[in-house]
């Protein structure tokens, strides 16, 4: 097994996998080192305490969570065990350029078997597809607001507001503008409901800015 190609591929995958935290990565590297020391033979028998120490993970819950998630994300195959010798880990090889349609553990894991990730490529495509929706056109937003029975002027406010921020909400890039538009509408509904009483009172009192002066005054009379 070419461990340089394997690690290069892992780091390439890791950079694009937003599910991974620093704990996942440190745990995987500790496991890889263990695998390397065992000449890349599967399965590995791992001991929790030594692996936590190697990965610099002090919390048992964090260790367990990360190990289970690495299994769920198809980076390895984890078989929990109460065996005092440790639990079993089957490591997958990323050393070739071929991909299966899904990262799935083969029925028989051996050194001649390699499991490859396509879900990262799928994630890239999904992410790129979402990014293509940003920014939406002004007409798309107007049509969306009309579907929600909102005025075109409010759609324009939404469009120009986020156009000015380069489609960022705070520090986060907006990936789903329709969800942001729904939130915008909801915030306006809440704002209108809070000020509904004031608006009603305002309507009863007349048009703002008009003076309550008599219209029968004779302006030809001297002051």
Mean pLDDT of 146-150: 90
Taking CB atoms within 8 Å and a gap of at least 24, the contacts of 25-28 are 26/55, 26/56, 26/57, 27/51, 27/55, 27/57, 27/63, 27/66, 27/67, 27/70, 28/70, 28/75, 28/76
In the prediction, which pLDDT does 192 show?
Answer: 73
What does the pLDDT average to over 59-73? 92
Q: 110 and 11, same structural domain? A: yes
The structure tokens listed for 43 are: 């399965």
Which of 63-67, 114-118, 219-223 has the lowest average pLDDT?
114-118
* In-domain check, residue 33: yes
**How large a percentage of the chain has pLDDT more than 70?**
66
Domain count, the chain: 2
Domain of 87? 3-123
Residue 83 near residue 46, CB atoms below 8 Å: no
Looking at the structure, do residues 22 and 116 belong to the same domain, yes or no?
yes
Residues 96, 147 within the same domain: no
pTM of the model: 0.46
Q: What is the tally of helices (H) and strands (E) in the chain?
A: 9, 5
Q: Is residue 213 part of a domain?
A: no
Q: Looking at the structure, do residues 177 and 112 belong to the same domain, yes or no?
A: no
The sign of the dihedral angle between the CA atoms of 121, 122, 127, 129 is positive
pLDDT band at 15 (very low <50, low <70, confident <90, very high): confident
pLDDT tens digits, 159-213:
999 989 989 888 888 888 998 999 999 888 877 776 654 444 444 444 455 555 5
> Does 207 reside within a domain?
no
Whether 165 is covered by a domain: the verdict is yes
| φ, ψ dihedrals at 152, nearest 5° | -65, -35
Residue 92, domain CATH: 1.10.10
Averaged confidence pLDDT in the chain = 75
The pLDDT tens digits of the residues spanning 94-144 come to: 876 443 333 333 333 333 333 444 444 545 555 555 555 567 899 999 999
Q: Per the domain annotation, does 170 fall within a domain?
A: yes
- Asked if residue 223 is part of any domain, the answer here is no
pLDDT above 90 coverage of the chain, percent: 26
Position 217 scores a pLDDT of 56
| Most confident range, picked from 11-15, 127-131, 200-204, 217-221 | 11-15
Residue partners of 78: CB distance under 8 A and separation at least 6? 67, 68, 70, 71, 87, 88, 89
């Amino acid at each position: 097994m070419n461990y340089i190609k394997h690690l290069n591929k892992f780091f390439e995958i890791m950079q694009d996998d937003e599910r991974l935290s620093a704990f996942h990565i440190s745990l995987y590297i500790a496991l890889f080192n263990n695998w390397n020391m065992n000449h890349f033979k599967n399965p590995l028998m791992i001991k929790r305490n030594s692996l936590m120490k190697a990965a610099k993970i002090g919390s048992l819950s964090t260790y367990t969570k990360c190990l289970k998630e690495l299994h769920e994300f198809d980076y390895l195959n984890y078989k929990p065990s109460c065996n005092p010798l440790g639990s079993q880990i089957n490591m997958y090889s990323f050393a070739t350029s071929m991909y299966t349609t899904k990262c799935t553990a083969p029925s028989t894991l051996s050194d001649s078997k390699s499991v490859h990730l396509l879900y990262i490529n799928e994630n890239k495509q999904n992410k790129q597809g979402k990014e293509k929706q940003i920014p939406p056109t002004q007409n798309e937003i107007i049509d969306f607001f009309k579907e929600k029975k909102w005025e075109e002027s409010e759609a324009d406010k939404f469009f120009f507001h986020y156009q000015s921020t380069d489609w960022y909400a705070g520090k986060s890039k907006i990936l789903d503008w329709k969800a942001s538009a729904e939130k915008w509408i909801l915030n306006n509904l809440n704002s209108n409901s809070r000020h509904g009483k004031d608006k009603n009172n305002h309507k009863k009192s007349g048009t703002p800015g008009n003076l309550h002066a008599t219209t029968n005054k004779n302006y030809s009379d001297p002051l």
